[in-house]
């Protein structure tokens, strides 16, 4: 069997967001699995490893050559002893976070990653789950999202956005803070992934979700132009 697919796993829209940036530029077959039924993984610390490994197993069955993990909480719990490449952007981003000397820096992510980074002696990590939830539910109200971004960023000079859902609002971060130095996890993943793919415009996409939720569909349709018909329900 030829292992030719590129797999994406997440509990929300992070994988779809990354795929939306590349799908028409490469000759690849994509498999996207979002366990949106159990969103957010980050608040289920007692079972996040179990759920992450189930997601990994589900995408493995579809003959992947590359696995793209777009949720750092999932990435931190994957089985790395595999015969395909795993791309998650975490290693490169962690290196930059530790090397950044600015005292006025902040890392935005979820509660699970916050606790992990504290264990790595990284300070100024904020749980941005409220904003992540808004994006996941399709609530992109300008006033609400801008208020939350201002609350998180404050007077920081360097911001590490360590959640791919938040990259949906990248334009708003940059608009509100044109002089702040931002690093987005999605950019690290995209750069690593593009180096591995074959350029072209012939591709096939199969999207699987674990639950039918209106907010999830709304975001996929309004932001990425993906309609309900292209998604199939799957049981992990």
| Architecture category of domain 5-89+189-233 in CATH | 3-Layer(aba) Sandwich (3.40)
Extract long-range pairs of 74-78: CB within 8 Å, 24+ residues apart: 74/9, 74/10, 74/11, 74/41, 74/48, 76/112, 76/113, 76/116, 77/48, 77/49, 77/52, 77/53, 78/52, 78/53
pLDDT at 223: 74
pLDDT at 3: 59
pTM for this predicted structure: 0.93
pLDDT at 204: 83
Residue 229 has pLDDT above 90, yes or no: no
Question: Which tens digit of pLDDT belongs to each residue from 77-134?
Answer: 999 999 999 999 999 999 999 999 888 999 999 999 999 999 999 989 999 999 999 8
pLDDT at 78: 97
Domains of the chain, residue spans: 5-89+189-233, 90-185
Neighbours of 8 (CB within 10 A): 27
CATH assignment of 90-185?
Answer: 3.40.50.1860
- Domain 90-185 in the same topology as domain 5-89+189-233: yes
Rounded-to-integer distance, Cα 221 and Cα 1, Å:
34
Question: Which tens digit of pLDDT belongs to each residue from 206-224?
Answer: 889 998 877 777 777 777 7
Contact assessment for residue 236 and residue 55, using Cβ atoms and an 8 Å cutoff? yes
pLDDT at 1: 46
pLDDT at 136: 86
Cα 147 from chain centre: 22
Residue listed under structure tokens 């199939």:
232
Please, which residues have CB within 8 angstroms of residue 121's CB and are 6 or more apart in sequence? Answer: none
């Amino acid at each position: 069997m030829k292992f030719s697919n590129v797999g994406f796993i997440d509990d929300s829209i992070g994988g779809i967001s990354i795929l939306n940036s590349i799908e028409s530029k490469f000759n690849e077959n994509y498999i996207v699995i979002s366990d949106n039924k159990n969103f957010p993984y980050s608040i289920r610390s007692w079972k996040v490893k179990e759920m992450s490994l189930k997601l990994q197993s589900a995408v493995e069955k579809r003959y992947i050559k590359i696995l793209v993990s777009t949720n750092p909480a999932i990435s931190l719990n994957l089985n790395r002893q595999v015969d395909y490449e795993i791309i998650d952007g975490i290693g490169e981003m962690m290196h930059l976070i530790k090397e950044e000397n600015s005292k006025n820096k902040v890392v935005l992510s979820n509660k699970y990653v916050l606790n992990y980074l504290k264990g790595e002696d990284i300070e100024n990590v904020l749980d941005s789950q409220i904003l992540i939830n808004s994006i996941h539910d399709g609530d992109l109200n300008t006033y609400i999202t801008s208020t939350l971004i201002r609350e998180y960023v404050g007077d920081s000079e360097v911001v590490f956005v360590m959640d791919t859902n938040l990259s949906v609002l990248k334009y708003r971060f940059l608009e509100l803070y044109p002089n702040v130095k931002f690093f987005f996890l999605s950019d690290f993943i995209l750069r690593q992934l593009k180096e591995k793919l074959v350029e072209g415009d012939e591709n096939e996409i199969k999207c699987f979700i674990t639950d039918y939720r209106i907010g999830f569909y709304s975001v996929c349709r309004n932001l990425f132009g993906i309609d309900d018909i292209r998604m199939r329900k799957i049981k992990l």
